[in-house]
Structure 1
Amino acid sequence: MADYEGMRWVKCDFQVQTPEDGAHWGDGDTRLGDPRRPLRTPAPDANGVVGPARPDEQRLQEVARAYLRRCHEVGLELIGVTDHNFSQKTDPRDWFLTHLVEQNKSVAAELGREPLYILPGFEVDVGYHVLCLFEPAKKVSHVWRVNKLLCKLGLDENERFRQGRPMPLRRNGANVSLKELIELVQGEHNGIVIAAHADQNDGILSDSRHIEDYKNQKLLALEVTSNPPSKRILDILEGRDKAWARSACHPAYVMSSDAKSLRCDKNGAPGPNAIGYRHTWLKMSKPSVEALRQAFLDPQSRIRLMGECPSDALTHPRITKVEVKGARFLDDQEVYFSESFNCVIGGRGSGKSSLLEYIRFAIGYEDPAAKSDEDDHALQRKRKVLRESLTVGSQVRVTFEVGNGVSDTLVYEPGRAVGPERWLDGREVADLKTVLRQLQLQFFSQGELSRMTSGSQGQAQVLSLIDAAVGAPLLQLNARERELKARLKTLFQSMRDAARIQSELDEAKQESVELERQLKAREAVKDDSAQSQLALEARRHLTRLQEDDAPIVGTIEQVLADLADAPVALPATASQWPNAEWFQTTASQLEEGRAQLAALIGQALSDYRQAKASVLCGDGARATLIAINAVQERFREACTARGIREDDIARMQELEEKRQAKLRLVEELQKRLADVQKEANKFPVVLGELHQVWRAQFDARCTTASDIQASVASQTVRLTTAYMGDESSFRAAWGRLAPPDKRGKLAKRWDDIGEDLFRRWQQRADASAWETIELARLEPTLLDTAFRENLHVPLLAHLGSEDVRPIWEDVRVSRVSDGIDVELLREDGSVAGAMSGALSEGQRNTVLLNMMLARGEGPIVIDQPEDELDSSFIYRTLVRDLRAAKTKRQLIVATHNANLPVNADAEQILALEARDGRGKPRAKGGLDRGDVAQAVLDIMEGSEQAFKRRSEKYHF
């Protein structure tokens, strides 16, 4: 996705040495000579004139290209070149880094890759080793600046090494402190400081004398050499070691190869301390020092150590690109989205809501909370205006992926004259909706969360969310519930199954008897069968003895035939050769030797055949064969006597399994027949199964509710569930049974009896409230109100009446909804309120959104959620939940609240602005891009000055 400008994972190695440091470089074949650019006399020109000798840079260039190629081979995109004290050389043309920068583009072009981001820098000693890195070098002058800075730090070019050893950093006769170094590098020269191999002997964490340096809040990162770090190091980095604890956040930690070699093993894997041996993944829009700084300030979101690219493991559905053409209020544009968190920002009229609604229109997404046009006139008017802004000829294209790299583009042309308004570009499908459902998109326009949680809908939405999260197991239980309800309603029709079951039972019984008879017959010849098998084994071995040497004998016979062929004769000219007599004598001797060899081999072969014949064709062999035949004949006679075939013996296990299966079938059929015959007892059994399914549905919801609660990153939600505890659902079912004549005493007390029934059921925990009524047939006092007012008999008579009985039967096998409530917790764990009680609209919406973010994998698109959320919870809970959710699913949010793109760390920010009456893009990318950060500051904070003025009054 070359046009994507948001943040992505970049493979980095922040500490690579080069052949510049010959004392530490480990490869002889890439070591640089001295001088590095030997003088070469050029070839004479056309006039025979030889020019002056010139420095030859070919070797430097070749090694630089090999170095760059190896970086590409291991997949690096960014390297920090940190040779000790930069270089021992004074001429920039002698610096290896100069040639790395110069050869970078051509090597990348040769490999078909983007050029490396080369961060020039150096490693210095301030009592421990420290890396200093600067903006990516694109030309040689960028390298010169780094050299000059090292001079400014106190290490002039001729003072950096003594007898080939790098000197510690000193300035004005004193050691340079980390504080000084950071102020100069990070404060004045836009660089970044990293404590090198901090967990080693020459690292900052090796000695408690460096504690105060470690506590310097401007030290943003350090390097470790193992993943995970040792317990001691991890205790320091995570603040558990009180002696090393920093007052604010601890530095990020990264891994680098500290490369001193290009070598690799036979599989191409880097060797220890070779290029690519250790690496770090950093999330950034475009590599820069600012990108590093921001990543070090937010390592949880932007840093991963070692392994494959983190985004490779993400296979969740996502929208990758949206193109809008011909819209009335939005400029033609292409918007690329990150697979993680995307924020659309802009002032009023900039088109941010329009962009999101166009996605909704294109997908054809239906609002799950919509009630009717009359319920929200403002929303309907807004959507009408937005639909009309897509005039005939306008087009919205949505490119999306629902699997690993499987991409489709949906095209939406409203008012299209010929053909459908929606179709997939380059692919015909029978049902477009089925394809789009795989995207699993959730869409929330402005005000939609509030509509979803208004009135009693909040708890219903939570229950619906839990059911969707349970997924396939609940769908299976629901299917089982429907099956059992159908069986209960048609129970009496099963009587005619009795005859069929009886016939099947008789057949199965007889088959089991026949199988048992066959097994007994086979058991009688079991010993003879075993002896027959041994005889067969002996016969096979005898056959092998007779035949196995045939290939060897054939080979020997071929050798004899070859030896019989005449040897190579001497040519006619042999008599004229030097020492011709010797050739003649030698040929005669070799021919005689060849004949003797053939005779010996032939005699040996003949002797072997006689020996074999005497052994295998003698009396012993014949007696053995007679014994084998006798054993096999006895077995055949035993099988004949019992009327079975010889190969039937091998089927004994199979027959036994069949017999056991038949016996199990007989047992099952007997049970089923007994169930049918005992008709009166079947209904309670099936009804019990239905109650078990109801309980299993509840258990599945409880488990998922617990999982959702645990998945909410901010841990500000607590869910409680009650088995069939939704009283409004009970009242609706009870109302179906109410007497139609409201004048009677029973009708007047109907609601009171229902309340009494529901309360008594909850106390007793019967299978359902309806079963409590059935139990009241034998124990009238269970229904206290009906019993006291002598309505018990009229109630049961009413339920058994001709008109009401079918309804009662349907109600009796109908489920009361499970009760669900959600509590919103404060940071101290105290309860702010419950959805069923005193939660404000914003708090209810916060609860619902937190839960939606916690489960699922499809994209969530939300238009300005802060308008509907409790402001005190946005940073404390929503930001944390967004950060957790974006690692598992795609989020696309239009917002005015800076907490969302900044603190939730959006990978892609699209800033829109209104110009010439249309929404136009202003900037796009991550916050590590300067123009994006400025857009966020202007749009969401009012400007840098406004932000600073406000901060001055906040008592920070």
Structure 2
Amino acid sequence: MVNTYTKARFWKCALQVNPAGYIAYRGTDHGMTEEQYNQELVRLALENDIKVVGLADHGNVDGVDAIRNIMNQNGILVFPGFEIASCEKAHFVCLYPEDTTTVQLHRYLGDLQLLDPEDGVCPSSLSAQQLLQKVENEQGGFIYAAHCTDDSGLLKLRLNHIWKNELLKAAQIPGALDDLKNEVGNGYRQILLNKDPGYKRELQIGIINAKDVANPGDLANPKASCLIKMTKPSFASFKLAFQDPESRVRLNSDVAEKYYSQLERMKITGGYLDGIEIEFSEHLNSVIGGRGTGKSTLLECIRYVLGIRPIGKIAQKQHDEIIKENLGKTKARVELTIRSSDMNGKRFKLSRRYGESISVQDEEGKPSAFTPVDLLPGIEIYGQNEIYEIAQDANSQRQLLERFLEKGLTDVEKAIHEAIGRLSENRKKLVEAQSGVSVIEDEVARLPKLEEQVGQFKTLGIEGKLKIVPLLETEKRLLKRVLEEEGPNLKRGFLAIQDCLPDTTFLSDVALDKLPHADNLREIRAVLNTMRTETEAILQQWLEKYGLWETQVTSFAKNLNTGIKNDEDALEKTFKELPACEGKTGKQIGIEYQRLMQEIERIRPKQTLIATRKQLLSELHNQRRMILVELSAKRAERSAQFERTLKKLNKRLTGKLRLQIKTEANRTPVIDFLLGCRLDGVGEGRLSWIREADTFSPVRLAELIRAGTEALRDEKWGITPTVAEALVRLTPEKILELEEIELSDSIEIELNTAHEGQENFRPLNKLSTGQQCTAILHLLLLENLDPLIMDQPEDNLDNAFIADRIVTELRSAKIARQFIFATHNANIPVFGDAEWIGVFEASDGQAHMPANSQGAIDVPHVRDKAADILEGGKAAFNQRKAKYGY
């Protein structure tokens, strides 16, 4: 962009610079010729970044041209003028436009009626009131009260009627405003802050530092200059700044470095916004233009290159349509340069062509792995009506407040989610263990019947002959455990050690190269390698021994199997010798008895297993109770911390909003869960007691369900018999799931609807749409290091609130945060004093925003366009002014 004057910024101005001969008035000498003096003035002005100089010799303008010429050659603007005293002997400095000639200055001086034109120190015969009238209204100059707290100053002379004159726009003080705190009664400071009733002004005075520069070295003193906000330094912009001194006039001592992210530059190639180039201000930016000129498109392009999706479905659809229509046809490209506070002020360039992924480059132009979310984690972008969507959704409101939460609260939230995860795992184990116990209990329950059957066999007189059968079954069970569990388990345990042996590849020579203590790390690597080598050797020795043990066990097992088989073969003969009974041969009876004993031997050990499983169940239940206690404590801690955060926010929102926490008030998840269980005869209406109960919690409800219908009825929650009967029929697993439901805290937001006078706070759901959106905007304007971007916030806002509240907040918040608004409302760019206003126009199906349509309200073209677009033009504005009677 060729034109660099496209946004307002603070320019350093030294407004009481004297020519070479002035020092003689003080009876001293700087020892320089006029040319040397002027050269030194220029050098020090450049060195101290002074862009504007005001010349103010006592009643003398002879040195103006020499200084002005050399300053102008070096890009420094000069406002010629002089210092003069009124007949009350109060001193003033009078400055004039940069092109005012020396001849005109002499005429102005003559018109101000100095008592002795040859002695500029002598006062004028005009009063201070007359001087203000002459300089401001007749000569078109600018006049300020010089050293107003000194002996010849306006305040020292107690000329309060002059102080309150609206033609007086500025007053010079010797240093910082806080330096006047020690002044008797804090009087001067109270007057300068416009808090003294006797000196109260409609427009607060502009406070400046402009120490007399009698020697070039004085320019280096911070008290010799002040900061004036202008798009391009000019006398017209300079004078306009004092119409809004709160925003546009600062002392050097007022400037505190603020660290926050910002969008710096934007460029669009192709599409409806082809050729648009913008250098945003770090403070307040306003995009204006007629409908359909491209305001919303510009903001949606920012959203597109950042890869941020809108909140609501309607907003998402609108975003996709705008991007497709304005970028899609020509595969246009958006490029954005940002400064990231999260990355310690580093700059990154983001770019995205339609249909492609986002590209991120660092300051050196190299590809970066960071995403836009990494760089601007707190950036907020809201399209038309998105604020309204937030105002209707409690979860969105809570998300909005989460950025103010203390880090400890984030840790608590994490601990709560982890605890719920452990509850879920515990439930799965409980269900599995309970199921296992049930199966085993069913099998063990068969033992009495099986043993009774054994008794029947005893009546046949065959017990003595078959007494070896249960013994052989016991031996087979024991041998099976040896072969399948004990030995193999031991081997698996040892082999698992191999997976845990030290791996020193992470300590390679390449990894240690250039590390300051590489030798120490190499020594550690050597020990780890030795540990691995010796452990592997021990493992090998053990495996060899295990092989021997395994061979021995296998040999003994073979002998045992042979013995069992021999005994079972002998049983075959015994079976044949058994007497027949009830149509069954002896062999059939023997085999049946053998199978019966096999089943008994299989089941009998499970009696011990039941006790073990029940002990496991007991331990799991105890674990669950401990997790629930921990969860309760963490939830209480979360609510307490959240409440502390809200108290801090309430202090910052005094007179605007009031926030109150309602602990675990969102009970919809419980209702949804129970409806999903499809309880007989229970619809949503019969569960309304869940929302209405004062002491409700999912854990308490689970306890009552386990206790039965009477307990549910006795809790005084208003549960009907039908619902109670349905609840107690929930499966144990569902009751456990119920305990795991997380209820979020809800935030009650109340807005002070009184414009002035006594506060009147009303809850969000009792407000009009405009008031609801105003409440949300108050939250959006709270501290955040990343930019806030909004499309036509006034669409759903009360206009009076914009003027009275929002603009006031913007003026203070923009010092520490960047704002970009597309708007039709004059209050935001004009009274918010936007540092950058971009005026969109459209012709031949193409949007335009040339450099001369960018700047602050002090740029004539921007000012005129703003009046046409936002006010309907000068005639319409004046007509409204007349009708209102202002």
Alpha-carbon distance in 1 for matches of 2:236, 2:191: 26
Number of the residue aligned with 2:340: 402
1:77 and 2:35 matched: no
Counterpart residue identity of residue 23, structure 2: G
Instruction: Say whether the 8 Å CA contact 1:318–1:439 is kept in structure 2.
Output: no
Aligned to 2:13: 12
Instruction: Find out whether 1:868 has 2:796 as its counterpart.
Output: yes
Q: Is the 8 A contact 2:144 2:171 kept in 1?
A: yes
Three-state SS of the structure 2 residue aligned to 1:154 is coil
1:552 — aligned with what? none
Say which of 80, 88, 96 aligns to 2:63. 96
The residue number in structure 1 matching 2:294 is: 351
Name the structure 2 match of 1:684: 625
Amino acid at match of 2:381: F
Residues 476/844 of structure 1: CA separation in 2 closer, same or farther (3 Å cut):
same
Higher mean displacement: 342-351 or 698-707: 698-707
C-alpha spacing 1:919/1:74, structure 2 compared with 1 (3 Å): same
Find the aligned partners of 2:17 and 2:704 in 1 and give their Cα distance. 80
- For residue 391 of structure 1, report the CA deviation from its aligned partner: 0.8
Check the 8 A contact 2:698/2:739 in 1, yes or no.
Answer: no
Deviation at 1:11, TM superposition (A): 1.9
Give CA-to-partner distance per residue, 1:262-288, whole Å, 9 cap, x none: 447xxxxx7xxx754443222221223
**How far, CA to CA, are the matches of 1:949 and 1:440 in structure 2?**
44
Q: CA deviation at 1:431?
A: 4.0
Unaligned runs of 5+ in 1: 32-58, 88-94, 109-114, 171-175, 265-269, 497-674
Q: Deviations over 1:758-809 (max 9, x none)?
A: 544x2x48796547747976955543367773865x466324x2xxx33332
Name 1:249's counterpart in structure 2: 203
Q: How far does residue 60 in structure 1 lie from its aligned partner after superposition?
A: 1.9
Q: Please report how far the alpha carbon of residue 852 of structure 1 lies from its aligned counterpart in structure 2 after TM superposition.
A: 1.1
Cα pair 2:705 2:712 within 8 Å, conserved: no
Equivalent residues in 2 for 1:234-633 (5 A)? 234-246=189-201, 248-263=202-217, 275-307=221-253, 309-310=255-256, 313-327=257-271, 329-370=272-313, 381-388=321-328, 391-392=330-331, 394-403=332-341, 405-415=345-355, 420=357, 422-424=359-361, 427-429=365-367, 431=369, 433=371, 437-438=375-376, 440-453=378-391, 456-457=392-393, 459-470=394-405, 472-491=407-426
Question: How far did 1:150 drift?
Answer: 0.9
1:834 aligns with 2:763: yes
The offset of 1:401, in angstroms, is 1.0
1:319·1:400 contact (CA, 8 Å) conserved in 2? Answer: yes
Whole-Å separation in 2 of the counterparts to 1:786 and 1:347: 59
Return the alpha-carbon distance in structure 2 between the equivalents of residues 844 and 912 of structure 1.
Answer: 30
> 1: distance between equivalents of 2:353 and 2:319?
23
Give 1:168's aligned residue: 123
Secondary structure, counterpart of 2:781 in structure 1? helix
Q: How far 1:897 moved relative to its partner?
A: 0.8
Partner AA of 1:789 in structure 2: P
The one-character-per-residue Cα deviations of 1:548-581 (angstroms, maximum 9, x if unpaired) are xxxxxxxxxxxxxxxxxxxxxxxxxxxxxxxxxx
Output the CA distance in 2 between the equivalents of 1:923 and 1:434: 29
Q: Distance in 2 between matches of 1:788 and 1:355?
A: 58
| Cα shift at 1:687 | 1.6
Answer whether contact 2:293 2:840 (CA < 8 A) is retained.
yes
Distance in structure 1 (CA, Å) of the matches to 2:782 and 2:788? 11
Percentage identity across paired residues of the two chains: 24
**Residue identity matched to 1:355:** L
Alpha-carbon deviation of 1:26? 7.2
- The residue type paired with residue 469 of structure 1 is F
Q: Deviations over 1:137-186 (max 9, x none)?
A: 36xx6344323211221239xx3344xx711012xxxxx12222222222
> Could you tell me whether the CA contact under 8 Å between 2:699 and 2:738 is conserved in 1?
no
Q: Which of 738, 749, 773 pairs up with 1:811?
A: 738
TM-score of the pair, normalised by structure 2: 0.71
Q: Distance in 1 between matches of 2:138 and 2:843?
A: 38
SS in 2 for 1:205: coil
Residue 875 of structure 2 corresponds to 945
TM-score (norm 1): 0.66
- Aligned with 2:163 (options 197, 206, 214): 214
Secondary structure, aligned partner of 2:58? coil
State the match for 1:718 in structure 2: 658
Is the 8 Å Cα contact of residues 190 and 289 (structure 1) preserved in structure 2? no
Give the corresponding residue for 1:583: none
Q: 1:439 & 1:318 partners in 2: Cα distance? A: 12
Mark the CA change 1:440 to 1:791 in structure 2 (over 3 Å): closer, same or farther.
closer
Matched residue type, 1:21: Y
Whether contact under 8 Å (2:306, 2:358) holds in the other structure is no
In 1: Cα distance, 2:634 partner to 2:774 partner: 33
Distance 2:204 2:248 in 1: 15
Residue 783 of structure 1 corresponds to 715
The aligned residue for residue 151 of structure 1 is 110
Residues 724-739 of structure 1 mapped to structure 2, 5 A cutoff? 724-737=664-677, 739=679
Could you tell me which residue of structure 1 aligns to residue 151 of structure 2? 201
Partner of 2:825: 897
Change (3 A) 1:65 1:768: farther
SS in 1 for 2:825: coil
Number of equivalenced pairs: 687
| Alignment match, 1:62 | 36
Contact 1:909–1:924 (CA under 8 A) maintained in structure 2: yes
Query: Separation in 2 of the partners of 1:326 and 1:680?
Result: 66
Which of 929, 933, 937 aligns to 2:859? It is 929
Structure 1 residues 680 and 360, CA, compared in 2 at 3 Å: closer, same or farther?
Answer: closer
Q: Structure 1, residues 902-921: CA drift from partner, whole Å, max 9, x if none?
A: 01110101112223432222
* Residue 544 of structure 2: aligned partner: none
Residue 61 of structure 1 aligns with an amino acid whose one-letter code is E
- The corresponding residue for 1:576 is none
Distance 1:809 1:195 in 2: 78
Q: Secondary structure at the match of 1:22?
A: helix
Residue of 638, 653, 665 corresponding to 1:697: 638
* CA shift for structure 1 position 888: 1.8
Aligned-partner Cα distance in 2 for 1:918–1:474: 50
Match of 2:579? none
2:207/2:250 contact within 8 Å kept:
no
Aligned 8 A contact 1:26 1:260 in 2: no
Residues 797 and 942 from structure 1, CA distance in 2 versus in 1: closer, same or farther, beyond 3 angstroms?
A: closer
**Could you say if the C-alpha distance between residues 145 and 728 of structure 1 is closer, same or farther in structure 2, counting changes exceeding 3 Å?**
farther
Distance 2:130 2:264 in 1: 46
The 3-state SS of whatever aligns with 1:14 is strand
- Distance in 2, matches of 1:489 and 1:347, equals 57
2:23 paired residue number: 22
Residues 1:694 and 1:461: Cα distance change in structure 2 (over 3 Å): same
Alignment of 1:910 onto 2:841: no
CA offsets per residue over residues 589-637 of structure 1, 9 Å max, x none?
A: xxxxxxxxxxxxxxxxxxxxxxxxxxxxxxxxxxxxxxxxxxxxxxxxx
Deviations along 1:480-511, whole A, 9 cap, x unmatched?
A: 112222333445979x9xxxxxxxxxxxxxxx
Aligned to 1:134: 95
Describe the shift of the 1:788–1:97 C-alpha distance in structure 2 as closer, same or farther (beyond 3 A).
closer
CA distance in structure 1 between the aligned counterparts of 2:166 and 2:866, rounded to whole angstroms? 26
| Alpha carbons 1:711, 1:855 under 8 Å: kept | no
Change beyond 3 A, Cα 1:854–1:104? same
Post-superposition shift, 1:233?
Answer: 0.5
Amino acid paired to 1:132: V
- Whether 1:124 and 2:84 are equivalent positions in the alignment is yes
